[in-house]
Amino acid sequence: MKQYIDTGKKDTRSGFGAGLLEAGRADERVLALTADLKGSLKMDAFAAEFPERFIQCGIAEANMVGVAAGLAVTGKIPFIGSFAEFVTGRVYDQVRQEVAYGHTNVKIASSHAGITLGEDGATHQTMEDIALMRALPEMVVINPCDYNETKAATIAAAKYDGPVYLRFGRPSVPNFTPADKPFVIGKADVMNEGNDVTIFACGHLVWEAIKAAEILEAKGVSAEVINLATIKPLDEKAVIASAGKTRAVVVAEEHNMAGGLGEAVAGVLAANAPTPIVFVNGGDRFGQSGSPAELMTAYGLDAAHVAEAAEKAISKK
């Protein structure tokens, strides 16, 4: 089994900031807009280097979406940035009508997603955003796993022609993917090959899945770990092929049970290759205050719970 090394904990939102700056240097059409959250979204470097391409919209997220859609119609490539809760739930009508329905080339950058936002609590944590964005026709949904992948995904989003929802987080987490690896939208990444069970994961749960595979290996269980950073469009061929090989599946995500990666994978398997499946997610509940590590454990989203789910999936064969 391949060993992954944490090269130093970094927050994925900083990966977005680095990717945005590089995308801006590569293409003068790239713009950045934010709703009074330039620092939180790590847009500072972009704003400093390209002040004429940075727009501070203030705490007016709905207006920001409309401005971005208008700029996209003129040929620009706007990235709008805010907290995941605000840039999905608060402005869903605008995103639906002006971005998705209009198929405008707007990139929605959402930080502070999931329960790992931590102490800010349920009102700011969102565990429903993937479901909201997946439901919109032609909306690409990406949830990268670490700093490097978030940077690469941001660059890929800038090159993609169409609406993209890019989800990342606040806390510093392990950075373990190659720094020079390009991100391919819609392509699954096999982190480790295995024969007994497949663990599909996205976002912060990819590292937990890798650690779970190590726990399982010590017990003689061979786990295949696949990073499904692109939740939509899903790499259906990779999902079907791996499930067909291991005949037992776990889907792990920092999102509620409804509408997330788990349901996306389950839908593919139900239609093509019915397979025993166990879900690791936030269930049907809101978040709460606590440190990211405390909440990951409390909601059953850590490596130990992923390994336990894998053994349960195997028992269903």
Do 126 and 113 contact (CB within 8 A), yes or no?
A: yes
Query: Where do we find the tokens 């919209």?
Result: 57
Query: Where do we find the tokens 């993917």?
Result: 177
Query: Where do we find the tokens 């480790």?
Result: 192
The whole-angstrom separation of Cα 127 and Cα 10 is: 22
> And the tokens for 113?
């997603």
> And the tokens for 188?
């699954």
Residues 6+ apart with CB under 8 A from 294: none
Largest pairwise CA distance in the chain: 59
How distant is the alpha carbon of residue 296 from its chain centre? 16
Task: Label the pairing between strands 10-11 and 172-173.
Answer: antiparallel
Which residues are part of the catalytic machinery?
Answer: 61
The 3-state secondary structure of 191-246 reads: EECCCCEEEEECCCHHHHHHHHHHHHHCCCCCEEEEECCEEECCCHHHHHHHHHHH
Helix (H) or strand (E) holding 308: helix 303-315
The whole-angstrom separation of Cα 211 and Cα 242 is: 19
Query: Residue type for 73, please?
Result: V
